[in-house]
Structure 1
């Protein structure tokens, strides 16, 4: 989906794009993405922008013991802690490290001025598939949830997140189904009793989760339906759409 650089970026959208939110904050942001088109566009913009930046930098394994040496260099020791020592466990003081780093940057800039200029290679084409979202709307049933349940599905990882999944009474289990164009329900998972369910969809079922497919929740005996179709009431349904 095409997005533009937002004039006033919403950092909540950035946090959601980076998967930094948990619990109530993530649930609120997910619900907002379902109802606020501008916010959803900013989430998509952050994902596209950050994916492009990450593609420029190869993964580098840090050398063994680096974290311990860095922590040692910033930890005060003894009565002279207010005065930084010249060396702590073999690590130069921060100002020497900074000086060497600046010298390295200056050398790189000098080389850029004297060497022939070449356009940097374009970042690799993005192959990530846009997520799918659904608002699973309660049915006209006394056991149905009080409000729509927002769902977010990531096709590339097979991860489906569903907020407000703890809707089953104590003697029942809530079960999630996918219903395609043929109208036949296929069981996806029995929902955990948590405010936000995180479900890794089985490989055989991922092809069923496409735009237009319907997610449905039924109330079943403990542990789920004994057969291939729902046996209890279907208390909420909602179609998947591309974010």
Structure 2
């Protein structure tokens, strides 16, 4: 594992789920971590668990001016991870267009804004968290499939444009994260049980599984332009 002692790391979406697990892993390995998300309250709660190596900054990645202002004041990072997104789901013929536009603005254009504005050292890395729906579409998820596929194509292009900076994607499958907290508990557990029965690994993923993959893409000096699927075999099951 690459030594992260003293490295500056930004985790956008670092206040919960995959982002928080990733921020915690970097901090444990000695990095100075900045977490950014829209919710000041979630940032404060996350910082209480991360110790003195972490700081937080509210940031709306759908706001062009806010992203530019943040980038101008944040300085240079060694590693950047983007896992923030708000993507409502629904069939194409039922999901309101304004919700579809908002989903694309958040997950795709949000990552695009950050990638163009932030300064990352050429020896470092940029990692986008996408999702296995890019290659395994599901019912009521055509939009998410398209967004994730677009992000993974963006990663390949950025890996060439920003070289020698390494740019990669980590593509999770179903995870036990706060994303599903709005579901009734019985429905949520039924979803997890069905996935456990379907997946080759016979379990549902945890945020820490994805954090380990992000640390791999950040630390491996021969990895760029790659999408790493950490989905329990979901893309083949």
Q: The TM-score by the shorter chain falls in which range?
A: under 0.3
TM-score (norm 2): 0.27
Larger Rg: 1
- RCO (CA 8 Å, sep 6+): is it higher in 1 or 2? 2
TM-score (norm 1): 0.27
